[in-house]
Amino acid sequence: MGMTMVQKILARATGQASVKVDDVLEPRIDLAMSHENAAIVINQFQEIYKDTGIEAKVWDPSKITLIFDHRVPAETSKTATNQEKIRKFAAQQGILKFHDIRGDEGGICHQILPENGYVRPGYVVVGTDSHTTSHGALGAFSFGIGGTEMSAVWSLGHALNIEVPGTIKVTVEGEFPPHVYPKDLVLHLIGLLTAEGANFKVIEFHGPTIKKMSTSGRLVLCNMSVEAGATSGIVPPDEETLRYLKEEAGVTDKIEMMSPDPDAVYDREIKIDVSKLVPQVACPHTVDNVKPIDEVKGIKLNQIVVGSCTNGRLDDLEIVAGILKGKKVARNVRMIIFPASARIYRQALKKGYLEIFMEAGAVVMNPGCGSCLGVHQGALADGDVALATTNRNFKGRMGNPKGEVYLCSPETAAVSAITGVITDPRKGG
Amino acid sequence: MSIVSKVVFKVGDDISTDIIYPGRFMATVLPSETLQYAFADNEVFNKKLNAKQVPPNSVIIGGKNFGCGSSREQAASTLKGHELIIVAKHFARIFLQNAINLGLKMIICPDIDASEGDDIEITDTEVINKTTGKRFAIQPLPKARQAIVDAGGLIPYAKQRMLAMHNK
């Protein structure tokens, strides 16, 4: 019986010829990522070794990456102290894939991993962040775990007791109409599947539209797969994956390719034609509350956020700069822009995007998760309505349960920033 | 095993970890300190918890997809700290695993129907709503996780495995 992408990856990671859905495995881990919540992982990691007389050493420091992004620079002394603890741990354990708060190599973990070539096709990647699903865009099986689970990975180099997930095959056809993007596609898909529709399953993306899509777009799809409950999203690696890894991530060593078997068995198959897709908006307070833009246009806004691990890459900023050039952000809204990494920030600076943003009245922030998770850098006032290119609109998400968050593509966010209300990008700002 | 208890709080479907433990408190990591922020944006229930008016083994009734969203482990550790039992139609993957890893009591009960104040009995196989007289079957935890439950959580389990590896 044929295997899906993830079944093939898991078979290889456990040294077996084949695996089937529901098998319980302990795959070896190729990359283990944590951000500031490594503070929890470190505590639990030390618990594993407590009273054993054995020195607490991670299994392979070259396979661990630690990245500060959730609260950068630290917004409180508590965060600063957590970060210092992690910094010391990285040094003591010899973890070199450590990205501190820096303008040369910092950024959001889900951008740092791809742009540095840390993820390769066929890898098993775990991260203490639910959006670790992102890295399926490069053909890896990449999924989120909790801090305690990560402490066991740090110790053993294996994920313990993983069930082989079933897979939903999503085939995408058609050309994107103007003003419609991978973000609109993934919002549409989440609306279709619902927030729990892919729980404990993988979403495997296929079809001519995916073949033509850039890695940046594929990252959007895999990133938000978790919003349908998916364990991971994955795109079988192809020429574009090789191009991205070589040209953009600077990978020079051999890249192994992998594809699902033609007779792989899927739990469910979904076909989507994007040629008729219109811009989509996810409405408060669940990501699956997705509506075509016509049904929400005109809603008055207080804050626009562009950025996050979903849509803070250079192509996103380019779209926003194209809209904002020579225009002004409406007086009644605050527009906050977070490039996803320091590299992207510097690229956007060279291309003149940051100047366009600021002249339009937007505020350009340092790379990081920023207001997406409601900690700092743009909390909402009571009754505020935000429109964001981020990935979640749960109650309280942007720092205030009395605020509302709508999710959309970068272009929809940009045209709406000019008008101050949710605006259809097909009709202009 | 049989636990007799009461429903102290009922929530709907898709309760995210942002609702259980808001992101702004994520810099707090010690289980002894995450306690205070359980359902922090629900002033009434949070106050009750912090005033110790909710006895151990009290039941929260959840809908579908309980614990969706962020992987933050504080969402499980804060509920575990209050010794709550979560009975939900089903759980989101990462939350379910975090809960099992930390030893939070959780029951998957796809048809559960109960209201705040109802008296509840939980056996090995069913949840009995003693107020309405209705009985609901419990769905077993994913088999992959049972070994971790049996070891008393992931840390003792990982410790056994680490020692076995070290002594090889």
- pLDDT tens across B48-80, in order? 999 999 999 999 999 999 999 999 999 999 999
- Does residue B112 fall inside a structural domain? yes
pLDDT band at B147 (very low <50, low <70, confident <90, very high): confident
Which site among B33, B37, B70 would you substitute to test the A interface, given the most A Cβ atoms closer than 10 Å to its Cβ?
B70
State the DSSP H helix or E strand holding residue A282, giving kind and residue range, or none if neither: strand A280-282
Q: Contact A421/A392 with Cβ under 8 angstroms? A: no
Q: Which of A415, A424, A383 is nearest to A319 (CA)?
A: A415
Measured CA to CA, the distance from residue B151 to residue B154 in angstroms comes to 7
**Cβ separation A163–B143 shorter than 8 A:** yes
**Cβ separation A48–B72 shorter than 8 A:** no
**Cβ separation B23–A399 shorter than 8 A:** yes
Tally of structural domains, chain A: 2
What is the CB neighbour count within 10 angstroms for residue A177? 14
Domain membership of residue B42 as a residue range:
3-139
Measured CA to CA, the distance from residue A234 to residue A386 in angstroms comes to 30
Smallest Cβ distance to A152: which of B29, B71, B158? Answer: B158
**Cβ separation A70–B26 shorter than 8 A:** yes
Please give the pLDDT value at position A428.
60
What would the pLDDT profile of B15-31 be if each residue is shown by its tens digit?
Answer: 999 999 999 999 999 99
Smallest Cβ distance to A144: which of B19, B94, B155? Answer: B94
Within 8 A of B139 by CB-CB distance, chain A residues are none
Provide the token pair at A259: 């594809």
Within 8 A of B26 by CB-CB distance, chain A residues are 36-37, 70, 373, 375
Within 8 A of A394 by CB-CB distance, chain B residues are 16, 18-19, 69
- Single out the residue in A251, A272, A293 at which a domain terminates: A272
Tell me, yes or no, whether A354 and A403 share the same domain. Answer: yes
Within 8 A of A47 by CB-CB distance, chain B residues are 155, 159
**Cβ separation B16–A394 shorter than 8 A:** yes
Tally of structural domains, chain B: 1
Domain membership of residue A385 as a residue range:
281-427
Smallest Cβ distance to A394: which of B18, B92, B101? Answer: B18
- Does residue B167 fall inside a structural domain? no
Provide the token pair at A85: 């603890």
pTM for the model: 0.97
Measured CA to CA, the distance from residue A69 to residue A67 in angstroms comes to 6
- Does residue B39 fall inside a structural domain? yes
Q: What is the pLDDT along chain A (429 residues), one digit of tens a residue?
A: 899 999 999 999 999 999 999 999 999 999 999 999 999 999 999 999 999 999 999 999 999 999 999 999 999 999 999 999 999 999 999 999 999 999 999 999 999 999 999 999 999 999 999 999 999 999 999 999 999 999 999 999 999 989 999 999 999 999 999 999 999 999 999 999 999 999 999 999 999 999 999 999 999 999 999 999 999 999 999 999 999 999 999 999 999 999 999 999 999 999 999 999 999 999 999 999 999 999 999 999 999 999 999 999 999 999 999 999 999 999 999 999 999 999 999 999 999 999 999 999 999 999 999 999 888 999 999 999 999 999 999 999 999 999 999 999 999 999 999 999 999 999 864
**Cβ separation B158–A374 shorter than 8 A:** no
Tell me, yes or no, whether A254 and A285 share the same domain. Answer: no
Smallest Cβ distance to B162: which of A82, A155, A161? Answer: A155
Please give the pLDDT value at position B142.
79
Q: Which of A401, A334, A408, A407 is nearest to A374 (CA)?
A: A401
Tell me, yes or no, whether A286 and A180 share the same domain. Answer: no
Amino acid at B149: V
Provide the token pair at B146: 């049972």
- Single out the residue in A226, A246, A272 at which a domain terminates: A272
Quick check: B137 contacting A, CB < 8 Å?
A: no
Residue B65: closest C-alpha in chain A: A196
Which CATH number belongs to the domain containing residue B74 in this structure?
A: 3.20.19.10
Amino acid at A207: G
Measured CA to CA, the distance from residue A98 to residue A91 in angstroms comes to 9
- Single out the residue in A220, A249, A272 at which a domain terminates: A272
Within 8 A of B68 by CB-CB distance, chain A residues are 195-196, 229
Q: Tell how many helices (H) and how many strands (E) occur in chain B.
A: 7, 7
Which CATH number belongs to the domain containing residue A19 in this structure?
A: 3.30.499.10
Q: Which distant-in-sequence residues (6+ apart) come within 8 Å of B24 by Cβ?
A: A374, A375, A399
pLDDT band at B99 (very low <50, low <70, confident <90, very high): very high
Measured CA to CA, the distance from residue A292 to residue A20 in angstroms comes to 38
Tell me, yes or no, whether A355 and A372 share the same domain. Answer: yes
**Cβ separation B24–A374 shorter than 8 A:** yes
